[in-house]
Amino acid sequence: MKPQPKLDLYKLHKAEYAATRKPALVEIKPASYLAISGQGAPGGDRFTASIGALYGMAFTIKMTRKFAGQQDYAVCKLEGQWWSEPASNFDRLPKDQWLWNLLIRTPEFIKDDDLRQAVAVLLKRGKGEEVKRVRLESLAEGLCVQMLHVGPYEKECETIAVMKAFAEQQQLLFSGKHHEIYLSDPRRVPPERLKTILREPVRPS
């Protein structure tokens, strides 16, 4: 319904999002994100409210700029980092102890002032306090192993195992937060067809 965007960060950084069903090494350049973090099961109240706040902020910032005639850009897809403390036992932890950082990649020209203005507008409209937790974050992940996971989120461990074996072959170790990029919409796409890019930062072992 809408014309082609002027700026699409995923298209601009195509190589960083060109994952296939085979693991590959990719150099990820530093990037700016809108981010909101928390703890709890995916689909839980906290998680759902955080996604709403993140999207509310993303579109309020984008549309405020667009209304003012500044450069237009596409709001990127949802991404997330998942981890636990301590790091070693993520798979065995109950889901309500999972830690997450939800992300939407954002152009570098979006600054804290843009966020402050959007928070003020959304609070005035009666949105919850969650919007105040949305912040700008820069990630510099560097060298990563990436692979496309097709199927339910519960089966990601199988893909991660393939990625781990691939890293070990190259004398590399997982060295950062597990990062995933949601290419499909879980509200309508059946679990077996969900596409998710899995990303694991690595360093030499």
Partner 1 sequence: MAATQPLRLTETIALDPALAKAQKQSSDPGAAVVCMPAMSGQGTMRTITLQDYKRRLLRVLVHIQQHLDDPLGLQELAGRACFSPYHFHRIFKGMVGESVKEHIRRLRLERAAGQLKLGTARITDIAFDAGYESHEAFCRSFRAVFGVSPSQFRSSTRNRITPTARSGLHYREGQPVNDFKATQPGGKNMKVKIEYREPARVAFMRHVGPYDEVGATWDKLLPRLGKDGRLDGDALILGICHDDPEVTPPDKIRYDACVTVDESFVPEGEIGVQVIPGGEYAVTTHFGPYQKLGDTYTRLLGQWLPRSGRELRSTPCFEVYLNDPQSTEPEDLLTDIYAPLQTKPNTLI
**Site residues for partner 1 per CB under 8 A:** 1-5, 8, 10, 51-56, 59-60, 62-64, 66-68, 74-77, 118, 121-122, 124-125, 127, 183-185, 187-189
Measured from the CB of residue 127, what is the shortest distance to partner 1 in angstroms?
Answer: 6
Q: Cα–Cα distance between 91 and 83 in angstroms, integer?
A: 10
Measured from the CB of residue 101, what is the shortest distance to partner 1 in angstroms?
Answer: 18
Measured from the CB of residue 55, what is the shortest distance to partner 1 in angstroms?
Answer: 4
Nearer to partner 1 (CB atom), residue 115 or residue 167: 115
Nearer to partner 1 (CB atom), residue 62 or residue 149: 62
Q: Which amino acid is at 37?
A: S
Measured from the CB of residue 48, what is the shortest distance to partner 1 in angstroms?
Answer: 10
Nearer to partner 1 (CB atom), residue 17 or residue 166: 17
Measured from the CB of residue 92, what is the shortest distance to partner 1 in angstroms?
Answer: 33
Nearer to partner 1 (CB atom), residue 37 or residue 64: 64
Nearer to partner 1 (CB atom), residue 85 or residue 185: 185
